[in-house]
């Protein structure tokens, strides 16, 4: 095999190992717990969960979504 193939496979293996090690770290440090609480943490009384309070401006004379 040429050195390019070895380089490509090395990068693939390094990426896979870093992804797995990141997942293991996240599990060990409690990052994978309480997803719902973390997702709701950005909302407050002025913008309750499930209520759209902002939107994209529309051009004049244009209808539809």
In Å, how far are 47, 50, 56 from 23, measured between CA atoms?
32, 30, 36
| Better-scored residue on pLDDT, 5 or 45 | 5
Spatial distance between the Cα atoms of 19 and 15, rounded to a whole number of angstroms: 6
As a whole number of angstroms, the distance between CA 52 and CA 45 comes to 13
pLDDT at 10: 97
- Does 49 score more than 60 pLDDT? yes
| Domain limits, the chain | 3-31
**What pLDDT is attached to residue 64?**
53
For residues 54 and 45, what is the distance between their CA atoms, to the nearest angstrom? 15
**Contact criterion met (CB below 8 Å) for 4 and 10:** no
- pTM, 2 dp: 0.54
In whole angstroms, give the CA distance from residue 30 to residue 23.
11
């Amino acid at each position: 095999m040429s050195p390019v193939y070895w380089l490509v496979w090395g990068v693939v293996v390094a990426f896979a190992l870093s992804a797995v090690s990141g997942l293991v770290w996240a599990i060990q440090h409690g990052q994978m717990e309480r997803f719902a609480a973390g997702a709701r943490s950005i909302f407050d009384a002025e913008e309750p969960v499930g209520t759209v309070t902002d939107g994209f401006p529309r051009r004049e004379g244009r209808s539809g979504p």
